Amino acid sequence: MIFTAKEQIVDQMKKNLETSANTRAKALLRIFENQTRDEQASESTNHYNGIGFTGSDAHFLTSLAKQYKYKGYLSPKQDAILARKIKKYARQLVEGSIAEHKIKTYGKYYYTNDYDLKAIKEM
């Protein structure tokens, strides 16, 4: 997909998080990985560095992430709660993807694959 503003990507990420349990699980693990080791171990937020879970979500979402890593699934009730909570992390997920060059830029455009880049260049 091709986007002209970061906010469009964040909005699309929120939609993906709402509609896909697989996307939610991947996002949960990604945000968990952004927690520091001590935060993961204590299931809390100790460093206010703009990444990882918020203080109010840290305990619950860390426990979900650990369960998912161990068992490979969440219960329907857990997934429903995750669906409500994970959307607030959409911007962090997008920023991380940009930093890791999973979302790339070309001029004023954002894109994710070479087919999109080719389309941008033909515009």
**For 47-106, how does the pLDDT look when each residue is reduced to its tens digit (9 = 90+)?**
667 788 888 898 999 999 999 999 999 999 999 999 999 999 999 999 999 999 999 999
Question: How confident is the model at residue 68, as a pLDDT?
Answer: 96
What residue segments make up the domains of the chain, in order of their start? 6-122
Quick check: 111 pLDDT over 80?
yes
pTM for the model stands at: 0.87
In Å, what is the CA distance from 3 to each residue of 18, 53, 98, 111, 116? Answer: 20, 27, 13, 7, 10
- Asked whether the beta carbons of 34 and 17 are under 8 A apart, the reply is no
Neighbouring CB atoms inside 10 A of 8's CB total 14
Contact 17, 27 (CB under 8 A): yes
